[in-house]
Amino acid sequence: MGKIRNDIILIIVLAALIVSSFIWWFLSSVDEPNRLYVNIYYDEKLLYSTPLDENNEYVVKGKIGDVHIVIEDGYVSVVEADCPNHICVEEGKKNKNNDTITCLPNLVYVKIGGHIDV
């Protein structure tokens, strides 16, 4: 008798652990409060909202030419751009919340922050 009851308690405890860990996993994957995204705009219109921790490359067609944006090892930078002053390229690599890179002549704007639905 006692053994069977212990087994039932064990099963209930295990089931509770599995359920609670699943809920925790589900909630943490939905919220992702610490995950940063790179939001790329052209002429104030959002083009991409992409995770900062996933390597990626984008070539955005700006007003006067292309802006080449690279996301690598948790940093975003403009590596090349068709603009006269290259201020955007000189900004270098960014990785902090609210960091921005602007290519004014091309009206291209990069901002690190939360995910935005495109």
Residues that bind Zn ion (CB under 5 A): 81, 83, 88, 103
Residue 62: CB minimum distance to Zn ion, A: 8
Residue 47: CB minimum distance to Zn ion, A: 16
Among 61, 71, 11, 12, smallest CA distance to 37 is for 71
Kindly tell me which of 38 and 83 has the beta carbon lying closer to Zn ion. Answer: 83
Residue 87: CB minimum distance to Zn ion, A: 6
Kindly tell me which of 63 and 115 has the beta carbon lying closer to Zn ion. Answer: 63
Those residues whose C-beta lies under 8 Å from the C-beta of residue 38, and which sit 6 or more positions away, are 48, 49, 50, 51, 52, 69, 71, 76, 110, 111, 112
Residue 104: CB minimum distance to Zn ion, A: 7
Kindly tell me which of 25 and 69 has the beta carbon lying closer to Zn ion. Answer: 69
Kindly tell me which of 69 and 88 has the beta carbon lying closer to Zn ion. Answer: 88
Among 71, 70, 99, 64, smallest CA distance to 85 is for 64
Among 43, 39, 44, 47, smallest CA distance to 97 is for 39
